[in-house]
Structure 1
Amino acid sequence: MDNNQPIIVKRVKRYAAGHHGGSWKIAFADFATAMMAFFLVLWLLSSATPEQKKAISGYFQDPVGFSESASPYVIDLGGTPTPAPDKTLSPEAKDARAVDDTQTDVEPVDAAQVETLAEQIERERLELLLQELQNKVNENPQLQRFKDQILFEITQDGLRIQIMDAANRPMFDLGSARLQPYFEDILLAMADTIKAVPNKISVSGHTDAKPFVGRGDFGNWELSAERANAARRTLVAGSYPDEQVARVVGYASSALFDRQDPLNPVNRRIDIIVLTKKAQRAIEGEQDAEPAGAEPTVPAAGQAAPAVPAEEGAPLQPPQLREKLNIFEDGTLKLDEPGGQ
């Protein structure tokens, strides 16, 4: 008691008989599995042909592009063994066999199918562009006020955008090609969106049927062409590439929107067509086809119209199901026009 020596207690753990832990079993199982896989790989390599070894080597060197130099399947599981090379064949015979194998694997490509597929992809691209333009009109408060004057339509020549006059909202000054500020805003918004696709465009101007009275031999043909060119200049000012403009043309009153009322303000309009490749080639003279931008048959009053207005939330529908909407308000403002519009 006086020495204050520490007392050490030693406890010994005793296990039940026959129990020595199980961790070694897991380690041994992993080792046995690895050895089995190793010997399996050795056996496969010893029984593989040189062509099969080349395929395996190509796969591990470039798993994505190895099929360019060998078979797209590393191991043939189809039940048909790969024939070993016949050493008795002459080099010419081997080359002939290789040519025959290549010809049997390649299927002929139908040019018509390729053209159809390209047109389908292009149409889907134009439909997405149409939806994006509609969304831009619906989301832009500045453009929403004029959405009843903007019509979109997918035609055989491409996506057609029609911007029309209203009785109390003309796009140009009376009898001139000077743009109203709101019309410039519409064109600038369009330019920012349609330049995202590689397709070229066609710009056309239209007037109503009222004869132009004024400067000598200057008439509706000249006026419609000048207005189309003024629209082109505004698009280019909005960063649209000038080399992407395939054609600028004036139609005067030769392609009226409302044939029942030739003096209807809707006949005064600017058409912008985002052309398909086929229509672009027709314009550039690469093939004999109907000129792109030619106006389709315009329905009479009460019939189905070919275009759909940029209404908010309006779903895309086939042209034959779209109904002509009375979207142009009956304005009380009457302009005493000295000439055609």
Structure 2
Amino acid sequence: MKKKKREEHTNSERWLLSYSDFMTLLMILFVVLYAMSSIDQAKFAQLSQSLNMAMGGGKSIIAKENGTDANKKTTPIDTNVQQSEQAKMQDLKKQVDKYLKDNNMSSSVSTQLDQRGLIVSLNNTLFFDTGNADIKPDFQNELIGIAKILNQIKNNIRIEGHTDTVPISNSQFSSNWQLSCARAANVTQFLIDKAGIPANKLSAVGYSEYRPVSDNSTEEGRAKNRRVDIIIENSEFNKIDNNVKGNSSNTNTNSNDNTNSSDNTK
């Protein structure tokens, strides 16, 4: 009697071996492409996650290096830098406050710390004649003294000119834009020429009446708004200041200003 031949068992899962090899080669290809080029980290993280899911899950080594774990390593360093800078700003403020007190200027010059850094506000009445952008000779030495204290740290310095809402019109300036810009520019040039502050640390901008710190409906409020702010920028604000262009410019003038009435208090 003839024996029956045993049926050969067909392996239906052979394709998995080829598929696994293909996926491995595909992953290697993308890793090599990543190593040879600079790509967006967020997009690469998405790509890495997709590959991991396609290959059956697992944790991504690359995601750990470029993602949350890396942030945890850098965050304490950033925090330490910010705390150190904040301590320097506070020490600088104390020095300026002492100088102002010793020279009887506390009522005309104020200091404060905010998200931008250290702000030293100069009252326009003390440093400028009405409707004029030239710094009064009587207080130039005091301004030099303040500037030398501020120059102790390497942070950039931003000079801002501000006015109240009362229109100005004289032979020199036709608008508050021009006056605020001229005062900011003159203080900046003075700090370069007389206080020895490097020009590449300085910037000047005029805001006219559009950055008030008080109510313009009262004389007291308008007096506070007429000022020049010297801002010692912290590193975070300096990044924003250098990368974002503001709407104001130190060459900007407002042709729509009402020039029919003169300002006798600026």
- TM-score, scaled to structure 2: 0.61
C-alpha contact (below 8 Å) 1:224/1:251 kept by paired residues: yes
Of 261, 267, 283, which residue of structure 1 is paired with 2:225?
267
Larger Rg: 1
Gapped regions of structure 2 (runs ≥ 5): 1-68, 248-260
Identity score, percent: 22
Question: Could you tell me which residue of structure 2 aligns to residue 257 of structure 1?
Answer: 213
C-alpha contact (below 8 Å) 1:195/1:241 kept by paired residues: no
Shift of 1:176: 1.7
Question: Could you tell me which residue of structure 2 aligns to residue 277 of structure 1?
Answer: 235
Question: Could you tell me which residue of structure 1 aligns to residue 199 of structure 2?
Answer: 242
Question: Could you tell me which residue of structure 2 aligns to residue 138 of structure 1?
Answer: 101
Shift of 1:231: 0.8
Of 179, 185, 188, which residue of structure 2 is paired with 1:232?
188
Letter in 1 for 2:85: E
Kindly indicate whether residue 179 of structure 2 is the aligned counterpart of residue 223 of structure 1: yes
C-alpha contact (below 8 Å) 2:167/2:176 kept by paired residues: yes
CA deviation vs aligned residue, 1:207-229 (integer Å, no higher than 9, x gap):
11110123498310011000001
Question: Could you tell me which residue of structure 1 aligns to residue 158 of structure 2?
Answer: 202
Distance in 2, matches of 1:209 and 1:238, equals: 32
CA change 1:121–1:243 in 2 (3 A) is same
CA deviation vs aligned residue, 1:26-45 (integer Å, no higher than 9, x gap):
xxxxxxxxxxxxxxxxxxxx
Distance in 2, matches of 1:185 and 1:205, equals: 20
Letter in 2 for 1:129: L
Distance in 1, matches of 2:82 and 2:198, equals: 24
Letter in 2 for 1:240: I
CA deviation vs aligned residue, 1:168-196 (integer Å, no higher than 9, x gap):
x4421221211112332232111111111
Distance in 2, matches of 1:188 and 1:114, equals: 35
Kindly indicate whether residue 120 of structure 2 is the aligned counterpart of residue 161 of structure 1: yes
CA change 1:338–1:290 in 2 (3 A) is closer
Q: What's the secondary structure of 2:211's corresponding residue?
A: coil
Question: Could you tell me which residue of structure 1 aligns to residue 59 of structure 2?
Answer: none
Distance in 2, matches of 1:193 and 1:268, equals: 24
Structure with more of its chain in helix, by fraction = 2
Question: Could you tell me which residue of structure 2 aligns to residue 211 of structure 1?
Answer: 167
RMSD of aligned C-alpha atoms? 2.6
C-alpha contact (below 8 Å) 1:177/1:230 kept by paired residues: yes
Shift of 1:339: 5.5
Question: Could you tell me which residue of structure 2 aligns to residue 127 of structure 1?
Answer: 90
Question: Runs ≥4 in structure 1, deviation > 4 angstroms?
Answer: 288-291, 336-340
C-alpha contact (below 8 Å) 1:191/1:235 kept by paired residues: yes
Distance in 1, matches of 2:245 and 2:86, equals: 19
Question: Could you tell me which residue of structure 1 aligns to residue 108 of structure 2?
Answer: 149
1:3-82 matches, within 5 Å, as none
Gapped regions of structure 1 (runs ≥ 5): 1-106, 292-335
1:299-338 matches, within 5 Å, as 338=263
Distance in 2, matches of 1:262 and 1:224, equals: 20
- TM-score, scaled to structure 1: 0.49
Q: What's the secondary structure of 1:110's corresponding residue?
A: helix
Question: Could you tell me which residue of structure 2 aligns to residue 302 of structure 1?
Answer: none
CA change 1:111–1:290 in 2 (3 A) is farther
CA deviation vs aligned residue, 1:110-129 (integer Å, no higher than 9, x gap):
22222122111100010011
Shift of 1:137: 2.0
C-alpha contact (below 8 Å) 2:164/2:216 kept by paired residues: no
Question: Could you tell me which residue of structure 1 aligns to residue 78 of structure 2?
Answer: 115
CA deviation vs aligned residue, 1:227-259 (integer Å, no higher than 9, x gap):
0011111111211111111x2100111112221
Shift of 1:136: 1.8
